[in-house]
Homo-oligomer: A and B are copies of this chain.
Amino acid sequence: MKAVGVVVEYNPFHNGHFYHVSQSKDRSNADVVIAVMSGNFLQRGEPAVIDKWHRTKMALKNGVDIVIELPYAFCTGHATFFAEGAIQLLEAIGCTNFAFGSEEGTIHPFLNTFTLLKSHEEQYNALIKQYVSTGISYPQSLFKAYEELRQKEQGHTIDLSKPNNILGYHYIEAAKRLNLNIEPMTIPRIQAGFHDDINTESTIASATGIRKAIFEQQSLEEIVQFVPDETYMLLEEWQNKYISFIQWETFWPYLRFAILRHTPEQLTRFADVSEGIEFALSKAAKKSNSFNQFMTLIKSKRYTWTRLQRMLTHIFTGITKEQLHNSSKLSYIRLLGMTKNGQAYLSKHKKQFPLPLISRVASTNDPMLLLDIRATDMYALGVEMASGELIAGDYQTPPIRL
């Protein structure tokens, strides 16, 4: 059986995702679609609006056959590392292709960009250095250096100011760097931009727009046209049980408690907390009554919102630099759910997987898996605090079967 892989967060699953899944399957002629999905904490350093089990169900009801979890170490990492973990997992589970959505929409410009940057690596790095030295931020310097190189190139290359082009490039770069066999494909994104508000004349909105509508309107009616029925029902189910959708604001009392329980010096033990910021974190946490107020106090030119949120994720989960450092090697495939079709694929192919397929965890010493368990536990405590309802135990429950 042929499998195509997708890298997703589904926060939450919407019509654009549905389009991407069906296109990926059709264009690759695959029998199954396998999604590698972030767990309860996401790449932008945020807790997911609903937990990974609900998001897995959304996926399985809408064309995905197998959902596996991207370990915490990768899904809270920077783009290069995130991509490395995701693409390695898709290769390990036997996908012949992976398909990402992009503004560009065709694959050759991505490959041209890769060739351009690899063949001019020294020049590229020198240009970046030069821009940084003029006081421009690192991401901006990268972009300017790339634009300068690009002008000299004959072939069509991608626009790296577009967020989905950037993500896609990281996937391709990871696959090439790690010498993987998995082949990249891209599906053009339709309509919604990355940061758009929802547009009532369309049926496509970005996940960002959908989350904004959920949190600002406190009602699901606004989003009904942008999500499949099953997403709507699962969001409703969550809301009935856990009262609020999850955002940093929901977890703020615990996050503040976690920050203030340590001296600034002790805070630097946690992953991504870089020297200097710890004093600002302590000071701001004492003064703030909300996450938003806190972020306003610690935000500065030096740190992007995402970078700050990632530090806060690690402080919240209590995960240290040492723990993260010891968890850089992928050692398992964690199964979150499967359809009958997915199950048939796994039965047929799992003996060839180079990594063990984990359905349930009794006890483990795997440092990477221990981080996943920790992150899940802390997310569950946060949800419980907000709702009084306990989330079903994670590593004792079997994968979802549809």
Contact = CB atoms under 8 A, between A and B. Distances in A.
B377 A286 contact: yes
A378 B260 contact: yes
Nearest to A253: B385
A388 to B, nearest CB: 10
A378 B261 contact: yes
Contacts of A256: 381
Given A286-B377, A377-B286, A261 B318 contact: yes
A262 B319 CA distance: 8
A254 interface: yes
Interface residues of A, number: 23
- The secondary structure that dominates the A interface is helix
Nearest to A390: B289
Nearest to A261: B318
A262 B318 contact: yes
Interface string A315-336: 0011000010000000000000
Interface string A154-188: 00000000000000000000000000000000000
A257 B260 contact: no
Interface string A346-390: 000000000000000000000000100010011001001100001
A318 B263 CA distance: 9
Nearest to A286: B377
Nearest to A320: B266
Nearest to A256: B381
A273 to B, nearest CB: 15
Q: What are the 7 closest A-B residue pairs judged by CB atoms, nearest first? A: A261-B318, A257-B381, A254-B257, A260-B377, A253-B385, A262-B318, A258-B261
24 contacts: A253-B381, A253-B384, A253-B385, A254-B254, A254-B257, A256-B381, A257-B257, A257-B258, A257-B378, A257-B381, A258-B261, A260-B374, A260-B377, A260-B378, A260-B381, A261-B317, A261-B318, A261-B378, A262-B318, A263-B323, A263-B370, A266-B318, A286-B377, A289-B390
